[in-house]
Chains A and B, each alone.
Chain A
Amino acid sequence: MNTIGQDIPRRDGHAKVTGTATYAYETPADNAAYCALLQATIAKGQVTEIDITDALALPGVLTILTPGDVQKLTPVENTELHVLQDNEIAYRGQIIGAVIADTSDIARHAVELVHFTYHVDEHDSAYSPDRDDLYTPDKLVTGAPADTSTGDVDAAMRTATHTVDHVYSTATNHNNPMEPHATTALWQDDTLILWDSTQGVHAVRTTLAEVLDLRPDQVRVICPYVGGGFGAKGEPHAPVVIAALAARALPGRPIRLALTRAQMFVLVGYRTPTTQHTRVAADDTGRLTAIAIAATGQTARIREYVEHAGAATRMMYAAPNRATSHRVAALDVAVPTWMRAPGECPGMFGPEVAIDELADALGIDPIDLRVANEPDVDPESGNPFSSRNLVACLRQGADRFGWADRAPRRDGDWLVGTGVAAAVFPAFTMRATAAIRYDQGRYTVEIGAADLGTGAWTVLPQIAADALEVPLDQVDVGIGDTSYPYASTAGGSTGTATWGSAVLAAVETFRDKFGTDPNDGDEAEGTHDQGPFNEQYATYAFGAQFAEVRVHADTAEIRVPRLLGVFAAGRIINPRTARSQFIGGMTMGLSMALHENSELDPRFGHVMNHDFAGYHIASCADATDVRAFWIDEEDPHVNPLGAKGIGEIGIVGTAAAIVNAAHHATGVRVRDLPLTLDKLLPGLP
């Protein structure tokens, strides 16, 4: 009996493709009311006057929430949740009220009838790495220091025979899951029920209870299905607080709130732009003598979130002299957040292009250059890697991709080139508890986890069935409800490893207590906590990304006909859902490379291309052949399950591989994303 490693179809697949899976906004509810948001049209200042007369007079309008006229909220670390507490406006598009009405149409009509008067303060929303007010954050979101330095990079750069010293940049990107953030909220009998699209029901409960000054047991959060999150649903944002306040204002009445696509560009986070001054030094053989990155980014003045773009450079390659730093500009802009592979995704762009530039300068194959600089231990901590199979990924990828004989060529009107880049993402776990119960021949596992499209509905039963040594169809799993035991948020690629380890612990407890012949109603719990492993070993997943790029000789149009990735990510639970994660990440990386670019106009303070016609995401026609493979990796140290995360590593390195391939095809080196045709055109014959 071994379902782990088998291609098991998604348990939620049928419901999703037939449209019967109920998402937050679709929760059945009698007599629902609808909430529409009022948003600031200035970037900084105060609301001085609000005229809601016309809106309130509209038949069907139930109530209007305005600044200072709602429940006093408890201050929390996440300051974006302090909605409507005063008249201050900290960024354009901030929520400054909400209309609740009998229908969505009426609510949206009423929004147009509310009139605000502002006192306008001068705002500053212009990011530049050259600003004179950049500051050093206290620490990174990972807890690591903002700056690190070993040896003397400057001296190494001066004496090295080959150096690369360039500034690379990545664009602002918005997470943009298919399903917008949505909530159905009900306040009844002193209890708040939130059907909320989230990556973590328990995180929403904990935070909302605190903000609203409720006991945790007064808040229940339910979320069986999530239409994507990519980090934007990793922690609660302002709209869910509004939904809760609206529900409290209308007890007994379910309130529905779904963001518009334009609101998704303001209210639920984004990946900030990064600037990466990257330096690499090497001797004639290609051995690195120095590697350094100085990363600059932006954050919102009202809440700090720093993209830790320098983190990956600390552990990626062996070099005696290393330096990393983070500086950030606090601006009058919307609050950034995690986006798929925060830190590593942008942070493996500059360095992986720089390595390609170095290989070019040395005349060494970029794979060989990377192999030559494999560290024996984690250069940062000195700890051994629990497993590190980057070289295997590069070698296997080279074989599968057809890396040999990679001379650039011309095929009709198209200039063709290939490129490679490495990928990395930390492997760690968080805390979770699973409960298991036996009843009439079936086992039911309950855990407050979330499936944001990743496959938790499917892989957790596999893990439970194998541990119980029973057939898969005898195991039911319940997730996405705070009435189930605490589980960590689906984030940081920790979900399967954490929850799966909790399931293993629960099964072990259950078997210890009840053996293999339990009675109906027998029940046990097990908890996984972050193990001691992480302190003894450096735990990371690795990967190699290969890209073929075609550039049109006349127009410089860029196409990526082939992407191929090979990953070393521990034990793969389900090849079907795993492949979907990998190719999804790679496709998103392609999208980041060629398309995604949130255009923030500093004169106004908000992103102008706030719809899917203006904000380009790779279409099917852009991602025609994306393949993912993995090597069998046994890592006994990483966690009890032996699984590393796979949700994020697929996006890491993709953009660098594509930019490197475009250079191979054309000879033009582009160092700022997205790679668009106007950047290649001047270099074409």
Chain B
Amino acid sequence: MRPFDHQTPANAHTAVHLAAAHPTAAFLAGGTNLVDHLKLGITHPDLLIDLSAATTAAITELDGRLLIGAGARNSDIAADHRVRTRYPALAEALLSGASGQLRNMATAGGNPLQRTRCAYFQDTTTPCNKRRPGSGCAALGGFTRGHAILGASDHCVATHPSDMAVALTALDATVHVLGPDGERTIPFVDLHRLPDDDPTRDTVLDHGDLITMIELPDSPIARQSRYRKVRDRASYAFALISVAAALEVTHGVITDARLAFGGVAHKPWRARAAEQILIGEPATDDTYRLAAETELANARTLDGLDGGNAFKVPLLIRTATAVLRQLAEEPR
């Protein structure tokens, strides 16, 4: 762990300009992942830009949309009555993540930007293309139980660890970003990227880009949403797989659907192909299963010292089927 400077700019513009002027600066929000990385030697910023004064923690409404300040704590978002009633999948995702202590620290802006917990990424004595480009992917041939089955490359098979991000992906959220060149918005589904040949980049954000707000659309279907996380222990474990889903059923026929998967790819995985299968079909297990199977038709599973991750395919199909069934049978 190396010494670093620490500044607390008073507003987002100052924070962004500070970052732009320091190529190895890092934004510090809740610190639940960055501080680990400092201790582990994964990253060595010379300046930490503390966002506690630069971002808002407020959750506000505008024309039926919900605007979540980047500084809002995960625990506060999960407890917000509007989130709980209009976007229940988001509240459930947040509450399924980490531990109570971590949720009290983690922020809306920081949570989606947390990095993979791949053991080979976190151990600086082993090769990792994400941490040290060109050094190789030690996960290949190693322990792969937690690794990707969709969209991975030969360079990286890591999964994105956030639960919150899976719900935001399903619920058509938008990210407000302030960069050195000004403000812009990015559909949440486009925030994260696949590893391809550059796994060092988790998202489309550039250095100096700051998430200021996460926007949830006015969405009737989001009220009928759920988040289901499957993990190895009852609490405080990353998802083996997870499902965020919203379903609209009229007279036994699916009229609209949102579906996203976690724990399966380098990014939260929006299951567009599955949604296309679902819409217009009868709300039955056969439909749900076919939809999930279709989405996973191109899944590539990994062998591993631990038996690999092939189990994720049937697990995800069964879980997605169960979640959709539950949404259809027990409307909120």
Whether A608 touches B236, Cβ cut-off 8 Å, given contacts A109-B1, A554-B319, A554-B322, is no
The answer to whether B321 and A681 touch across the interface, beta carbons within 8 angstroms, is: no
The answer to whether B119 and A603 touch across the interface, beta carbons within 8 angstroms, is: no
Whether A622 touches B235, Cβ cut-off 8 Å, given contacts A555-B319, A555-B322, A677-B315, is yes
Chain A residues whose C-beta falls within 8 Å of the C-beta of B123 in the assembled complex: 608, 610
Whether A618 touches B319, Cβ cut-off 8 Å, given contacts A603-B141, A613-B117, A681-B314, is no
Q: How far is the CA of A105 from the CA of B1 in the complex (A)?
A: 7
Residue among A554, A616, A620, A682 with most chain B CB within 10 A: A554
Q: Tell me if A678 counts as interface (CB < 8 A to partner B).
A: yes
- B-contacting 9-mer, from A190-198, A244-252, A479-487, A593-601: A593-601
Q: Tell me if B133 counts as interface (CB < 8 A to partner A).
A: no
Closest Cβ of chain B to A234, distance in Å, is 28
Q: Tell me if A604 counts as interface (CB < 8 A to partner B).
A: yes
Closest Cβ of chain B to A106, distance in Å, is 9
The answer to whether A604 and B233 touch across the interface, beta carbons within 8 angstroms, is: no
The answer to whether A616 and B41 touch across the interface, beta carbons within 8 angstroms, is: no
Q: Tell me if B307 counts as interface (CB < 8 A to partner A).
A: yes
Q: How far is the CA of A619 from the CA of B235 in the complex (A)?
A: 6
Chain A residues whose C-beta falls within 8 Å of the C-beta of B306 in the assembled complex: 599
Q: How far is the CA of A390 from the CA of B85 in the complex (A)?
A: 54
Nearest residue in B to A618 (C-beta to C-beta)? B233
The answer to whether A109 and B143 touch across the interface, beta carbons within 8 angstroms, is: no
Q: Tell me if A132 counts as interface (CB < 8 A to partner B).
A: no
Whether A603 touches B235, Cβ cut-off 8 Å, given contacts A109-B3, A555-B319, A614-B117, is no
Q: How far is the CA of A112 from the CA of B233 in the complex (A)?
A: 35
The answer to whether A599 and B143 touch across the interface, beta carbons within 8 angstroms, is: yes
Q: How far is the CA of A109 from the CA of B238 in the complex (A)?
A: 30
Q: How far is the CA of A677 from the CA of B241 in the complex (A)?
A: 12
Closest Cβ of chain A to B143, distance in Å, is 5
Q: Tell me if B232 counts as interface (CB < 8 A to partner A).
A: yes
Chain A residues whose C-beta falls within 8 Å of the C-beta of B319 in the assembled complex: 554-555
The answer to whether B230 and A681 touch across the interface, beta carbons within 8 angstroms, is: no
Q: Tell me if A383 counts as interface (CB < 8 A to partner B).
A: no
Closest Cβ of chain A to B217, distance in Å, is 30
Nearest residue in B to A556 (C-beta to C-beta)? B315
Residues of chain A from 83 to 141 with CB closer than 8 A to chain B in the complex: 92, 105, 108-109, 112
Closest Cβ of chain A to B92, distance in Å, is 15
The answer to whether A613 and B315 touch across the interface, beta carbons within 8 angstroms, is: no
The answer to whether B233 and A594 touch across the interface, beta carbons within 8 angstroms, is: yes
Q: Tell me if B142 counts as interface (CB < 8 A to partner A).
A: yes
Main secondary structure of the interface of A (DSSP, over half): loop
- Please count how many residues in chain A sit with their CB below 8 Å of the partner chain's CB atoms: 36
Residues of chain B from 159 to 190 with CB closer than 8 A to chain A in the complex: none
Among B3, B141, B234, B315, the residue within 8 A (CB) of A622 is B234
The answer to whether A599 and B315 touch across the interface, beta carbons within 8 angstroms, is: no
Among B117, B126, B232, the residue within 8 A (CB) of A677 is B232
- Please count how many residues in chain B sit with their CB below 8 Å of the partner chain's CB atoms: 36
Q: How far is the CA of A678 from the CA of B232 in the complex (A)?
A: 10
Chain B residues whose C-beta falls within 8 Å of the C-beta of A1 in the assembled complex: none
Contact indicator per residue, chain B 214-238, by CB within 8 Å of chain A (1) or not (0)? 0000000000000000111111111
Among B141, B142, B305, B311, the residue within 8 A (CB) of A678 is B311
Closest Cβ of chain B to A568, distance in Å, is 31
Q: How far is the CA of A609 from the CA of B123 in the complex (A)?
A: 9
Whether A604 touches B126, Cβ cut-off 8 Å, given contacts A109-B1, A619-B235, A619-B236, is yes
Contact indicator per residue, chain A 607-637, by CB within 8 Å of chain B (1) or not (0)? 0111101101011111000000000000000
Q: Tell me if A217 counts as interface (CB < 8 A to partner B).
A: no
Q: Tell me if A253 counts as interface (CB < 8 A to partner B).
A: no
Residues of chain A from 379 to 417 with CB closer than 8 A to chain B in the complex: 413
Q: Tell me if A150 counts as interface (CB < 8 A to partner B).
A: no
Chain A residues whose C-beta falls within 8 Å of the C-beta of B119 in the assembled complex: 599, 608-609, 614
The answer to whether B232 and A621 touch across the interface, beta carbons within 8 angstroms, is: no
Chain A residues whose C-beta falls within 8 Å of the C-beta of B122 in the assembled complex: 611, 614
Whether A678 touches B126, Cβ cut-off 8 Å, given contacts A595-B233, A620-B235, A621-B233, is no
Chain A residues whose C-beta falls within 8 Å of the C-beta of B27 in the assembled complex: none
Q: Tell me if A559 counts as interface (CB < 8 A to partner B).
A: yes
Whether A555 touches B230, Cβ cut-off 8 Å, given contacts A601-B305, A614-B119, is yes
Q: Tell me if B2 counts as interface (CB < 8 A to partner A).
A: yes
Q: How far is the CA of A678 from the CA of B306 in the complex (A)?
A: 11
The answer to whether B41 and A112 touch across the interface, beta carbons within 8 angstroms, is: yes
Q: How far is the CA of A620 from the CA of B234 in the complex (A)?
A: 9
The answer to whether B305 and A599 touch across the interface, beta carbons within 8 angstroms, is: yes
Closest Cβ of chain A to B279, distance in Å, is 23
Nearest residue in A to B142 (C-beta to C-beta)? A601
Q: Tell me if A557 counts as interface (CB < 8 A to partner B).
A: yes
The answer to whether B232 and A595 touch across the interface, beta carbons within 8 angstroms, is: yes
Whether A601 touches B143, Cβ cut-off 8 Å, given contacts A620-B235, A681-B314, is yes
Chain A residues whose C-beta falls within 8 Å of the C-beta of B101 in the assembled complex: none
Q: Tell me if B125 counts as interface (CB < 8 A to partner A).
A: yes
The answer to whether B234 and A621 touch across the interface, beta carbons within 8 angstroms, is: yes
The answer to whether A681 and B234 touch across the interface, beta carbons within 8 angstroms, is: no
Residue among A595, A602, A619 with most chain B CB within 10 A: A619
**Contacts A613-B238, A620-B235 known; 13 new A-B pairs at CB < 8 A:** A105-B1, A109-B2, A413-B322, A555-B322, A557-B231, A594-B232, A594-B233, A610-B123, A616-B232, A616-B233, A621-B233, A622-B235, A677-B240
Query: Which A residues form the contact surface with B (CB < 8 A)?
Result: 41, 92, 105, 108-109, 112, 413, 554-557, 559, 594-595, 599, 601-604, 608-611, 613-614, 616, 618-622, 676-678, 681-682
Q: Can you list 30 A-B pairs, Cβ within 8 angstroms, ordered by A?
A: A92-B125, A108-B1, A109-B3, A112-B1, A112-B41, A554-B318, A554-B319, A555-B322, A556-B315, A595-B233, A599-B119, A603-B138, A603-B142, A604-B138, A608-B123, A608-B142, A608-B143, A610-B123, A613-B117, A614-B119, A618-B233, A619-B233, A619-B235, A620-B235, A621-B234, A676-B232, A678-B311, A681-B311, A681-B318, A682-B314
